[in-house]
Chains A and B, each alone.
Chain A
Amino acid sequence: DAGVTQSPTHLIKTRGQQVTLRCSPKSGHDTVSWYQQALGQGPQFIFQYYEEEERQRGNFPDRFSGHQFPNYSSELNVNALLLGDSALYLCASSSWMVEDEQYFGPGTRLTVT
């Protein structure tokens, strides 16, 4: 049973550029949430997608946007990158039937220079 997968593993971008991160949920899951984890901090909720729509959003600017595809996979896009966007980006998947259990992927380490 494949767990949550994310790509790429690592990414280095320059300030002002745009980046796209990808996530495939655990088999049987239909809901995808994205979190940002800065070094030494706990993860912070960015947004959640269900049925290809953004269902819930945290306190992040519009530079952060996302998409969910019919196969439940998801993308996180960040425009106009800032140095402060450097972090581990985590994707978590869950099922609408068991919403409370969220399973995380290994994350994408984004470094903005």
Chain B
Amino acid sequence: EDQVTQSPEALRLQEGESSSLNCSYTVSGLRGLFWYRQDPGKGPEFLFTLYSAGEEKEKERLKATLTKKESFLHITAPKPEDSATYLCAVQARQAGTALIFGKGTTLSVSS
């Protein structure tokens, strides 16, 4: 069964304190791995797509990396406005373009 597990469930950081979020996946043929940001009561906002092991993508203070079994979202020197839930999702080759999501990591950054 295709599955996505994210850890930790919640993470509290001080402003400027860098950390990483983990997304481990089990999928029968990875088509792509996706990171989204979701603010409370809003729809997910697309951040990155990764396709193959070793691939990395960056956007401002965020950097996503991919291995054959997991992905990391590194947050460098976070600011309070980075507080949100970060969702990881995969597409499996045999499952078309449907996204299979993890439960998310809720990040709180305090000043």
Contacts and interface: CB of A to CB of B under 8 A. Distances in A.
Nearest to B106: A40
A53 interface: no
A42 B46 contact: no
Nearest to B98: A45
Interface of A is mostly: strand
B97 A48 contact: yes
B87 interface: yes
Contacts, number: 64
Most-contacted residue by chain A among B42, B46, B99 (CB, 10 A): B99
Contacts of A55: 96
A33 B31 contact: no
A48 B91 CA distance: 14
Q: Give 10 nearest A-B pairs by CB, closest first.
A: A42-B101, A104-B43, A45-B98, A56-B96, A104-B44, A106-B43, A99-B97, A42-B103, A107-B43, A100-B32
27 contacts: A33-B97, A35-B99, A40-B103, A42-B102, A42-B103, A43-B87, A43-B89, A45-B99, A48-B98, A56-B95, A56-B96, A90-B44, A92-B99, A94-B97, A99-B97, A100-B31, A100-B34, A101-B46, A102-B97, A102-B99, A103-B46, A104-B36, A104-B43, A104-B45, A104-B46, A106-B42, A106-B43
